[in-house]
Amino acid sequence: MATASDVAKAAGVSISTVSYALSGKRSISATTRDKVLKTAEELGYLPHASARMLAAKRSQIIAVTAPLHQDTDHTVHMQFAMEVTKSARECDYDTLLLVHDDAMEGMRRSAGTALADGIAVLDVDADDPRADLARGLDYPVVFIGIPHDTTGLICVDLDFEAAAALAVDRLADAGHASIGLVSHPRITMDRGSNFPLRFLEGFERRCRERGIAFAVAYPEATSARRAINELLTALPGMSGLILNTGSEVAADAVPALGARGRSVPDDVSVIAAGAAYSTERFAVPLDTIPLDAHASCAAAVDLLVAAIDRGEREPRTVLIAPEYRDFDSVRRAGVAEDVSQASA
Amino acid sequence: MATASDVAKAAGVSISTVSYALSGKRSISATTRDKVLKTAEELGYLPHASARMLAAKRSQIIAVTAPLHQDTDHTVHMQFAMEVTKSARECDYDTLLLVHDDAMEGMRRSAGTALADGIAVLDVDADDPRADLARGLDYPVVFIGIPHDTTGLICVDLDFEAAAALAVDRLADAGHASIGLVSHPRITMDRGSNFPLRFLEGFERRCRERGIAFAVAYPEATSARRAINELLTALPGMSGLILNTGSEVAADAVPALGARGRSVPDDVSVIAAGAAYSTERFAVPLDTIPLDAHASCAAAVDLLVAAIDRGEREPRTVLIAPEYRDFDSVRRAGVAEDVSQASA
DNA sequence: CTGTTAGCGCCTTCAT
DNA sequence: ATGAAGGCGCTAACAG
């Protein structure tokens, strides 16, 4: 490959002029800059990444640690990894994938060898060991997700508590006084995956605040049947349902309600909250409070790049405000009851 | 961070002795090696990645290009990306994720800047533009998947034709003379995604060779219902079914057959072939010819590393022989008929 | 077996 | 506005 000195020779300038002409880090006469740019183009010159890294003391690489648990939703996972990558590219960074087997080792290595300039941490557990590591690293790390102890960390995530409250409010405002929540599988909860916990807390708190009768069920991996049955047992009059689940369980909720003689939205109003998928093509589209991978990852990468490039490392937690997307799966409680009484 | 010269000073040796003691690239007396290793340990020395890359003319990085199509099965995708990463780590390589938006640009950049030492290409279409790029790059590239024109390329994949033939043989050997195939959604086929095509060809050829009546259906994204109905219309006597589909469609196949009054395996023998998922926890576990991400990726990484480290760049296509996993979802045709007659 | 030294290709300060 | 030159930290000949 052509080097900067090749370009310099061919263009009849010095090697530093080539460097500056391409980086624009100091003023260069239009004439010589054009000449340099043109010959660089002709020679197909591209700066050697390692040489640039070494001289600039920056690798322009962000490491991504994305553990794969048995219950990991790969769809969501992949979305986040790709969104981090996309956002990183927009800031002129590449992303390096760390294997989860030795996430800690990978993080230490990235930092210790300056392989990467910073790390994005995905799929954060409440009691995530990567949090302590990050605290001891003196190295830019951003968490996409919120561990229990955020001391000293930079974290970004959807505000799941607010999302839960928003969902409850929508249903309560529509007159629903008995609301069920389908949360995540037990295995996920037991692991201490944090966002389901935060959603759950937000849900319970807001229900209490508004005097709503509520119940919670934990589905199996891909079926909502048993969870729905449990909710209907606990709340026979349940007229509102919030799904904080993966897409498969969410898609199964309407049929599961149907199997118990409830139709959506006439008998039960349903909201999918913290959903990384679209419900538009469901048999019955559901009102959604999206988990926007792009928003979270773009914000996270911005923070990480700020920490790397501008040394902005003040710990902080950025909660992304939830949005509501209406697909008409929530009806007024009174109306719904009239309809069901009429048909009864 | 501590540098090699820090270690050299502290250990009272020369800098090259440090380098050699750590790389083992030339013999060193046990005494001095131990001394070097110990002080390196004490100082927490880790070689600076960029410096090492520059001097060694090798980045120890493999780029991975993994396009995300609308119909991409993220589960499979993620599996492959992670398996490449794991295998790469075992060869002391890291993996860089290329965004699919500008896959070509990313490949050119990886090669042109020596950011990566080679590229692994995932999710290969029959007419994949990355193939032509690779041919023109003079740079180690390995395809995990097989484009139509493999001239000049190194490719690795499950032998989907053989897998199809194996599935047909199993059913034919068990006396089934009428076999249906649920292939991939039309959108996937239209894109020219190659492995479904190869599977389809293998299926049709072997059916013809063995004089089997056959039919093919293309399912929707997540439901097998319509596809199953189409097959039963085309082949009213269908007693064998091959599923070359994603996990959701596969899981839906048994219920879909049930809805048409067929039970598995009594009325219909079923095989999931080219399956990247496990059927063990299906209501009815299915005989499986696995699509083993680990096997494909490990082989691919080995080839890529051989190309990088040892210059072994002869084009070739490695087809991984299919294996058969028996879960008792295939019964003898005669037996099955007796049972269904008895219950009729 | 070990030390000395010349780069790797680029960035950037110091001169001019 | 441009050029010259000194590293960045490591590897790998080249000398002993």
**Model pLDDT, residue A335:** 56
What local confidence, expressed as pLDDT, does residue A341 receive? 42
Q: A115, A63 in Cβ contact below 8 A?
A: yes
How far is B206 from B212, CA to CA, in rounded Å? Answer: 8
Nucleotide nearest to B53 (CA to C1'): D10
Cβ contact, residue pair B97, A99, below 8 Å: no
**Which nucleotides of chain D have an atom under 7 angstroms from any protein CB?**
1-5, 7-13
Q: Which CATH class is domain A160-291+325-334?
A: alpha beta
Report yes or no on whether pTM surpasses 0.75.
yes
Q: Which helix (H) or strand (E) holds A181?
A: strand A178-182
Architecture of domain B4-56: Orthogonal Bundle (1.10)
Q: B-chain residues within 8 Å CB-CB of A100?
A: 82
Task: Give the distance from residue A165's alpha carbon to the nearest chain B alpha carbon, in angstroms.
Answer: 31
What stretches in chain B show pLDDT beneath 70?
335-344
Mean confidence (pLDDT) of chain B: 93
In which element (H, E) is residue B256 found? helix B247-259
Give the mutation candidate from B77, B97, B222 for the A interface (greatest A CB count, under 10 A). B97
- Whether residue A46 and residue B79 make contact (CB cut-off 8 A), yes or no, is no
Distance in angstroms: CA B60, C1' D9: 17
Name chain A contacts of B96, Cβ cutoff 8 Å. Answer: 61, 94-97
pLDDT at B21: 94
DSSP assignment letter at B322: P
* Contact check, Cβ <8 Å, B78/A78: yes
DSSP E strands in B46-199: the ranges are 61-65, 94-98, 118-121, 141-144, 154-158, 178-182
Identical fold at A61-158+293-320 and A160-291+325-334? yes
Regions of chain A where pLDDT drops below 70: 335-344
Q: Which chain B residue lies closest to A43 (C-alpha atoms)?
A: B112
- CA dist list (Å): A251 to A100, A247, A269: 30, 6, 15
| Domains of chain A by residue range | 4-56, 61-158+293-320, 160-291+325-334
- B97/A82 Cβ within 8 A: yes
- Residues around strand C, C-beta < 7 Å: A 3-5, 15-16, 19-20, 22-23, 25-26, 45, 47-48, 51-52, 54-56; B 12-17, 20, 26-29, 31-33, 51, 54-55, 57
Facing B95 at nearest CB: one of A47, A89, A97: A97
B1 neighbourhood in chain A, CB within 8 Å:
112, 114
Residues of A in contact with B82 (CB under 8 A): 68, 97, 99-100
Among the partner-chain residues A48, A51, A113, the one whose CB lies closest to the CB of B49 is: A113
Instruction: Tell which CATH architecture fits domain A61-158+293-320.
Output: 3-Layer(aba) Sandwich (3.40)
Q: According to the model, what pLDDT value does residue A69 have?
A: 80
A23 touches strand D (CB under 7 A): no
Give the start-end residues of each E strand in chain B.
Answer: 61-65, 94-98, 118-121, 141-144, 154-158, 178-182, 213-217, 240-243, 269-275, 287-290, 316-320
Q: Phi and psi for A118 in degrees, rounded to 5?
A: -175, 175
How many whole angstroms separate alpha carbon A87 and alpha carbon A298? 5
Provide the CA B14 to C1' C4 distance, Å, integer.
Answer: 9
* CA–CA separation, A274 and A244 (whole Å): 6
Smallest CA–CA distance, residue B341 to chain A, in Å, is 32
**Measured CA B273 to C1' C13 distance, in angstroms:** 64
